[in-house]
Amino acid sequence: MGMDTKELLKKVRKIEIKTRRLSDNLFGGEYHSTFKGRGMTFSEVRQYQFGDDVRSIDWNVTARYNEPFVKIFEEERELTMMLMVDVSGSEHFGSNNQFKKEIITEISATLAFSALQNNDKIGVLLFTDKVELFIPPKKGKTHVLRIIRELLEFQPKSTKTDITEALKYLTNVLKKKAIVFVLSDFIADGYEKTLKITGNKHDVTGIRVYDEREETMPNIGMVQMQDAETGDIQYVNTQSKKVRSAYAKYHREQVAYFTNTFTKSGCGILSCRVDESYVKKLLGYFKRRG
């Protein structure tokens, strides 16, 4: 059972005050200039005419008909922001998991308030190895506060992670191009094909929130460990160099997979250690993209 209502409202309020201030001062303008120009929906193609912008040539159609076709866009008045938040068990390993969850919640809230200021719609998808909760995109402060409440209080049914499932679901429910932020520690793989498809349609950014202490295994003798994802209990000798380096290697591989897959799919990436200022990180990211 989650916390009682009064406690919860206090927490929501605290997060609101903190993140609202950030989004007011910092992100309004930055977020706006970064994404507004891309709020275009693709409406049709027509044959290329003299004077058309070469950058709008649709190469697929052009190749099919052997003559140049251009895409015609119509400006969209509002954008849709979709927050995809990993609420799985891998978020619950290591020294300070509560902290990781809080940071993810605060980043999500900051992004949501930034979108709110732009009068954009915000939706949320909470996922484990399945979609645990989908809140369709809507506008308004009440809606944003509901999102924050869910992020604070939601109790997932599963402990596993499957990013592919979440991306597939997203592609099915979102018809129009959206700005998508995927927040996770990205201790997962196998999502390359799906991410490519999603990245073609939407403006996707992966935000990896991690705790350095989870990247190495502490040397503390024989430990009873429960696999956060399968629930199995096993004894692990943390003194073994081999065990420790295998663990560290697994971590490095997952991070490399995240970086390469997102970059190859034309998606943005942002990594934020729990003890770093996510504000600086987000701002830097928006400025680079702007």
Q: How many domains, the chain? A: 2
Supply the pTM of this predicted model. 0.77
Phi first, then psi: what are they for 285, rounded to 5°?
A: -65, -45
Residue 198 contacts by C-beta under 8 Å, 6 or more apart in sequence? 167, 170, 171, 180, 204, 265
- Which residues of the chain are modeled with pLDDT < 70? 1-3, 23-43, 73-77, 89-98, 226, 228-229, 290
- The answer to whether residues 181 and 147 belong to one domain is yes
- The answer to whether residues 69 and 101 belong to one domain is no
CATH of the domain at 31: 3.40.50.410
Boundaries of domain holding 217: 5-35+77-289
What strand order describes the sheet that includes 268-273? 131-138, 121-127, 80-86, 179-184, 203-210, 268-273
User: In this predicted structure, what is the pLDDT of residue 89?
Assistant: 65
- The answer to whether residues 70 and 82 belong to one domain is no
User: In this predicted structure, what is the pLDDT of residue 91?
Assistant: 44
- The answer to whether residues 189 and 249 belong to one domain is yes
Q: How far apart are CA 150 and CA 144, in angstroms?
A: 10
Segment (H or E) for 168: helix 163-173
User: In this predicted structure, what is the pLDDT of residue 52?
Assistant: 77
User: In this predicted structure, what is the pLDDT of residue 90?
Assistant: 54
> How does strand 233-237 pair with strand 268-273?
unpaired
- The answer to whether residues 159 and 106 belong to one domain is yes
Picking from 163, 207, 206, 198, the residue whose alpha carbon sits closest to that of residue 178 is 198
Residue type, 1: M
Classified as helix, coil or strand, 222 is strand
- The answer to whether residues 201 and 247 belong to one domain is yes
User: In this predicted structure, what is the pLDDT of residue 85?
Assistant: 97
Picking from 65, 219, 251, 90, the residue whose alpha carbon sits closest to that of residue 158 is 90
Q: What is the DSSP string of 9-31?
A: HHHHHHHHHHHHHHIIIIIHHHH
- The answer to whether residues 181 and 228 belong to one domain is yes
- The answer to whether residues 60 and 153 belong to one domain is no
- The answer to whether residues 175 and 53 belong to one domain is no
User: In this predicted structure, what is the pLDDT of residue 94?
Assistant: 47
- The answer to whether residues 183 and 60 belong to one domain is no
Token pair listed for 152: 């604070």
- The answer to whether residues 45 and 181 belong to one domain is no
Token pair listed for 53: 């912008």
Number of H helices, E strands in the chain: 9, 10
- The answer to whether residues 163 and 260 belong to one domain is yes
Token pair listed for 111: 């992004």
Q: How far apart are CA 223 and CA 234, in angstroms?
A: 8
Among 53, 75, 97, where does a domain finish?
Answer: 75
